[in-house]
Amino acid sequence: MNNDHQYLDHLRHSCAHLLAAAVMELWPDTKRTIGPAIENGFYYDFEFANPISESDLSKIEQKMRELVKKWEGFERKEVTIDEAKQLFANNLYKLELIDEFSKAGQTLTLYTSGNYVDLCRGGHSTHPKVELKHFKLLKIAGAYWRGDEHNTMLTRIYGTCWPTKEELDAYLLQQEEAKKRDHRKLGKELDLFVFSELVGPGLPLYTPKGALIRRLLQQFVGELQGSIGYEEAWTPQVTKADLFKVSGHYDKYKDDMFRVSSNYSDEEFFLKPMNCPMHAQIYASRPRSYRDLPIRICDYANLYRDEKPGELSGLTRLRAFSQDDGHCFCREDQIETEFTNVANIIKFAIAKFDMKYWIRLSLWDPNNREKYLGAPETWERSQATLEEIVKKLGVEYKKAEGEAAIYGPKMDFMAVDALGREWQISTIQLDFIQPQRFELRYTDQDGQLKQPVMIHRAILGSPERFLGLLIEHFAGAFPIWLSPIQAVVIPISQDQNEYARVVLNQLRAAGIRAENWNEAESMQNRIRKAEKQKIPYMLVVGKREEEERTVAIRKRGNKNEGSKQLEEFITNLRKEIDERAL
């Protein structure tokens, strides 16, 4: 078994070639576009003359298995622009890529395997005939060319490929479970959030239940960050472009930001995509002394990013979201303490959701310096500082070149959910660049003006995205403290309605979110409904419970826990909620 990341990428990109070869054999008039390796698989986008469906996937797979028997390797050949254009004369997509690559000064290369030839930069398996055995085509989806809704809608075929049959089978089993846990499906069934065509894609609307969970997550983070000295600020959602020109975001991200027009000003405005430049302005609002540092600011303001429609995905990729964003302005001798304090509350938070995690040490790519702000020596200094801190934390970590923010390296906490999938949720970032660009200063004890360090951090990241993750991690069965309804009272007959109201009133008086389900339908139907809505506790009350002032407790998952005195149950439940138990 070979789990090397590059090996898997090459394997999956090779399988994308094999997919395209099979499609072209079956439908020769199809227009090919691109076929990259992605996490856990690959895809290829096509323009078919006539639509295909998922029922065609088995036919394509069969053709792939037939073709790969003759694929001994991938033959590389450099070609001129004219040669490449001649080969793809009837394919506008490939012609566009050829022009793009040639303008960027890239060498144009073709790769041949069997009878199939494609325009490609490279990165393939060495022995496709032997290595491309354990693959599966998964689904068909629509995808705009280049992710732009103004372009042609293409047909995207997704697949997965693994070094061994065991790995393929395990992944397919995981995917089946993931379908059952899909947060878009469960979010609708549990009445947590909706999307509206009239409102727009990537702009979620939270029902009272969904808004409650979102608020509870924010309160949890608020307690944690308050415990290490962060104070909440508030900043506007619209700002002048000048702010982002100074921070450097304008040149790097302006195409991904929402522009805002004013009837009374010619100035350029944007909806805010991040908080850090505004927090820098709070710091810059008055003189600072070394005694003032560290200054810790957090913010729950809404953020907006102009994501391409084809890249939007439920709550995990949105155009409107918030973030448990925070920034610390400190002296260099305070960096380690601040990082450690934030890392400790992140570790505590992740443990509350029963997740494992590791740290990705996200570094810059020295071969693509134009992507980043600041001088190389600044990057080397900040990266060395950050790695030293990570080592002292004693947590498993892996280096990842090219994953840094534009202004500095970062420590990303990669949480592992119940299905073994990894999610980047928490982050702590070291920034020497923005304080420099905004000319932030403090007066040191020697009377000299010095530049503070800026630490960016998020505890759970976006509560919207984290909600999507939690829905899938818990399969919608939230821990008691996050459950919108924590208990339902179910009277066996109408004769117990009065006692059911007494139980309900006592539950609510104790701050427990409870409902009385006394509908004129069978008790079993009401229990099934509560199970489907994944409510943690069902309190069944009949004649005996009324006489003894007890409740018959049924816990989520069809677990009967017998009868208890109402007061005892409330005390135990209140403790469970207050401790944020799983």
Nearest to 278 by CA among 257, 297, 260, 258: 297
Buried b (16+ CB within 10 A) or exposed e, 164-191: eeebbeebeeebeeeeebebbebbeebe
The annotation status of 456 as a binding-site residue, yes or no, is: yes
Find the angle CA(185)-CA(187)-CA(190) to the nearest 5 degrees. 110
As a whole number of angstroms, the distance between CA 73 and CA 499 comes to: 76
Q: Which residues are catalytic?
A: 276, 305, 323, 325, 327, 410, 456
Cβ pair 316, 465 in contact under 8 A: yes
Sign of CA dihedral 548, 551, 553, 554: positive
- Which token pair is 518? 């006394």
The annotation status of 328 as a binding-site residue, yes or no, is: no
Cβ pair 161, 134 in contact under 8 A: yes
Regarding beta strands 453-458 and 514-516, do their DSSP bridges make them parallel or antiparallel, or are they unpaired?
Answer: unpaired
Longest dimension (CA), the chain: 91
Sign of CA dihedral 538, 539, 542, 544: positive
Q: Which helix (H) or strand (E) holds 21?
A: helix 5-26
The annotation status of 327 as a binding-site residue, yes or no, is: yes
Residues 6+ apart with CB under 8 A from 363: 383, 399, 400, 401, 402, 403, 404, 409
Which DSSP state fits 452? P
Report CA Rg, the chain: 28
The 3-state secondary structure of 359-415 reads: EEEEECCCCCHHHCCCCHHHHHHHHHHHHHHHHHHCCCEEEEECCCECCECEEEEEE
Q: How far is CA 214 from CA 192, 203, 217, 321, 483, in A?
A: 10, 15, 5, 11, 11
Q: Which helix (H) or strand (E) holds 158?
A: strand 153-162
**Which residues are known binding-site members?**
276, 327, 456
**Which residues are known binding-site members for Zn(2+)?**
276, 327, 456
